[in-house]
Amino acid sequence: MDGDKVPPSFDRMGKVIKDAEAKGFNPGLIVLLVVGGLLLTFLIGNYVLYSYAQKSLPPRKKKPLSKKKMKKEKLKQGVSAPGE
């Protein structure tokens, strides 16, 4: 008996693989590379814009706390609010 015999199903797979290599790039791979490239470009662009904004924009001003909120904060800390 020959040990070299390959089942027909495997033989067909070999032909399919050889055909794909002859055609060139796998379309799935091309799509993956394009989508990956776009995602990478988007993320790098966001980072560049963020770093530029951090350097160039002035720092945001904090809103002044209302008297009610100030009283609540002081009560939380255990300091008695003035006038009470």
CA-based angle 17:5:24, to the nearest 5?
Answer: 10
pLDDT of 83 strictly over 90:
no
CA dihedral 36, 40, 42, 45 (to 10 degrees): -160
Per-residue model confidence (pLDDT) at position 30: 94
Which tens digit of pLDDT belongs to each residue from 2-26?
Answer: 555 666 666 666 665 666 555 677 9
Which tens digit of pLDDT belongs to each residue from 25-61?
Answer: 799 999 999 999 999 999 999 999 999 999 898 877 8
* CA–CA gap between residue 42 and residue 45 (Å, rounded): 5
* pTM exceeds cut of 0.75: no
